[in-house]
Amino acid sequence: DPALYPNIATLAQDLRGLGFAFQTYYNTFLDIEADIYPESTSAGYQVMREDGSSYLFQGVKFHDTALLDLENPDARAWAKAVMQEGINEGSDGWMADFAEWLPTDAALHGGADPMLAHNRYPVRWAEINRELLDAQTDGRERLFFVRAAWLGSQPLVPVVWMGDQQTDFSDGDGMPSVIPMMLGLGLTGFPYVGHDIAGYMSQGTLPT
């Protein structure tokens, strides 16, 4: 969005000149208020319901949201084209977020079983990102990192991020949960992981 982010290519170049990589952000949500929503849904790239309607849910921005159907090769190609725009503007990589939300009662491209596709979805998402970065020919080092993975993600994913830990020391999702997750990821073939040192989320009451 050139209005929201003016001179982004210059910003990316300035940051690289200071020794930083310029990272951006992508996920597979199609927010109804996003500029890509009409294009993607009119082309039929979204996950559908059995009745033929878009499978809408309340997304992370609390808007109606659809989900990209990664069983559809045309949808995957379209997603790579969208992310290529970011590279063209100077992106050195990004967080490839989410990919664990595929509903198991959806209707998918080609009649794929949504129960089986649920765990395959983050692998498909990693494939898209890996293929896109591997296709670049400018010699610049680039990186993406993910939140979700499954069997088969290991050769595709450079770094796994461990999610939104609570800003506390609870065993379930606070700082003590980080070390077991790091060990588990290492034992299952993911050599590089990252997490938020001080936590990310709080269970405090939101303002009204």
d(CA 188, CA 143): 21
The structure tokens listed for 201 are 């989320």
pLDDT for res 95: 97
Name the DSSP class of 205: P
Residue 84, pLDDT above cutoff 70: yes
CA–CA distance, 158 with 93 (Å, rounded to integer): 11
3-state secondary structure of 33: coil
The pLDDT score that the predictor gives to residue 199 is 77
Res 103 pLDDT > 50: yes
Task: Specify the pLDDT at position 206.
Answer: 46
For 3-28, what is each residue's pLDDT tens digit?
888 999 999 999 999 999 999 999 99
User: Using an 8 Å Cβ cutoff, are 160 and 129 in contact?
Assistant: no
Rounded mean pLDDT, 149-160: 97
User: Active-site residues: which are they?
Assistant: 97, 100, 164
Q: What is the pLDDT of residue 197?
A: 75
pLDDT for residue 205 is more than 50: no
- 19-58 tens-digit pLDDT: 999 999 999 999 999 999 999 999 999 999 999 999 999 9
| Between residues 62 and 197, the one the model is more confident about | 62
Q: How confident is the model at residue 204 (pLDDT cuts 50, 70, 90)?
A: low
The count of other CB atoms within 10 Å of the CB of residue 12 is 20
How would residue 138 be classed by pLDDT, with cut points 50, 70 and 90?
very high
- In which band, very low, low, confident or very high, does the pLDDT at 105 lie, cut at 50, 70 and 90? very high
**From 74-78, 168-172, 178-182, 197-201, the region with the lowest mean pLDDT:** 197-201
- Residue 80: per-residue pLDDT: 98
